[in-house]
Copies of this chain bind each other. A is one copy, B any other.
């Protein structure tokens, strides 16, 4: 499957050479893979450029307090560095937060909408499981100042175009509304303010897609059988736009109309239980799946109050592709 590279096997856990290992979860990238990665990157950047998105870059390190404004939990988990003046820095674990900061500061004078894209690595000191890395490259975009549903539709259509340009022909974009499940949960009596422990436990099970755990936590929160059934069904509701004919799904229904009009409806699957681990999403969220890989090759969503935390009132939507995962699909395809 790996062709010429099979001669020099590289263990993704970084322990290839016992004498001089690389850090856990990191790896050397060899010429064949990097050549593919560079080709894919340039193809994606061409699509972004044609859609009037311009490339920016942010520092590899940010003040922890900056990143905490965007995602307090992730800012705690990130790699920490103490700067010379004693302030805490973190290695970039996400590009959306720094670009939101940039939009509010360095780019403060630019009139919306801002169309930005980037190619940046991120570092996340997770416990590596099969195929997971602590470092990977993301190619992504941020569209700032174009509200839902038009901004969501532009971004999701662009996601389809870049995945195609990256050479992944067989893909689906799961589209959900990160506020939908929580809102219904609140209506049924478990809201984030009144019962934060139960709420967080339920949302954690939803995020990790553990249906058994979800059922357990819903019952533990005191919900009656009917409500438990309704929410468990909601968590599993995946399908075409016919799924959106229910109370609470009005925003997604509006978006579906735009996506159909843009001609990308057949690449989209609606997923009413979809939420994402990043805490800054406020509306539509997406995950991108390619055939043959059990994990997402990308994701993103709407974050309408993040830029505001840095001092500028600006709605926003962004997504990123995990370039390593895209290349894994391409390598499988060329070996088939």
Mark contacts of A258-286 with chain B using CB atoms, 8 A cut-off: 1 yes-contact digit, 0 otherwise.
00000000000000000000000000000
Least CB distance from A3 to B in Å reads: 14
Q: Tell me whether A232 is interfacial, beta carbon within 8 Å.
A: no
Q: Does A61 contact B (CB under 8 A)?
A: yes
Contact B79 A55 (CB under 8 A): no
Task: Given A60-B123, A105-B16, decide whether A81 and B85 contact each other with a Cβ distance below 8 A.
Answer: no
- Does the CB pair A60–B26 fall under 8 Å? yes
6 pairs of A and B residues whose beta carbons are closest in the complex: A26-B59, A31-B54, A17-B105, A29-B57, A28-B106, A34-B55
Closest CB in chain B relative to A176 CB, distance in Å: 30
State whether the Cβ of A310 lies closer than 8 Å to any Cβ in chain B. yes
Q: Using an 8 Å CB-CB cutoff, how does the interface string of A74-88 with B read, 1 for contact, 0 for none?
A: 000001111111010
Instruction: Decide: B55 and A16 in contact? CB cutoff 8 A.
Output: no
| CB pair A20 B60 closer than 8 Å | no
Q: Could you tell me the distance between the alpha carbons of A38 and B38 in the complex, rounded to whole angstroms? A: 12
CB distance from A83 to the nearest CB of B (A): 6
23 contacts between A and B (CB under 8 A): A8-B110, A17-B106, A19-B310, A20-B311, A22-B59, A23-B63, A23-B89, A26-B61, A27-B59, A28-B57, A28-B58, A29-B58, A31-B55, A31-B116, A34-B55, A34-B57, A38-B45, A60-B60, A60-B91, A61-B79, A61-B91, A83-B125, A84-B127
Indicate whether A7 reaches chain B with its CB closer than 8 angstroms.
yes
Are A16 and B109 also in contact (CB < 8 A) when A54-B31, A55-B35, A123-B61 are? no
Q: Name the interface residues of A1-29: CB closer than 8 Å to any CB of B.
A: 7-8, 10, 14, 16-17, 19-24, 26-29
Q: Select the residue from A22, A27, A42, A87 with max chain B CB neighbours within 10 A.
A: A22
Given contacts A17-B106, A311-B20, contact A30 B59 (CB under 8 A): no
**Per-residue interface assignment for chain A, residues 82 to 120, with 1 indicating a CB less than 8 Å from any chain B CB and 0 otherwise:** 111101010100000010011011111110000010000
Q: Which residues of B contact A21 (CB under 8 A)?
A: 63
Question: Shortest distance in angstroms between A58's beta carbon and chain B's nearest beta carbon?
Answer: 6
Specify which chain B residues have a CB less than 8 angstroms from the CB of A60 in the assembled complex: 26, 60, 91, 121, 123, 135
In the complex, whether A71 has a CB less than 8 A from a CB of chain B is: no
Is the C-beta of A56 less than 8 angstroms from some C-beta in chain B?
yes
A118-148 to B contact mask, C-beta < 8 Å, 1/0: 0001010101000000010000000000000
Chain B residues within 8 Å of A29, by CB: 56-58
How far apart sit A109 and B16, CA to CA, in the bound complex (Å)?
A: 13
**Is residue A66 within 8 Å, beta carbon to beta carbon, of the partner chain?**
yes
Q: How far is the CB of A316 from chain B (nearest CB, A)?
A: 16
B59 contacts A105, CB within 8 Å? no
A20 engages B310 (CB within 8 Å)? yes
Please state if B105 and A19 are interface contacts (CB–CB under 8 Å): yes
A85 to chain B minimum Cβ distance, whole angstroms, is 7
**Which residue of the partner chain, among B19, B28, B116, B310, contacts A56 with CB atoms under 8 Å?**
B28
Is there contact, CB below 8 Å, between B80 and A81? Answer: yes
- B residues less than 8 Å from A107 (CB atoms): 8, 30
User: For residue A57, which residue of chain B has the nearest CB?
Assistant: B29
* Complex contact B28–A55 (CB within 8 A): no
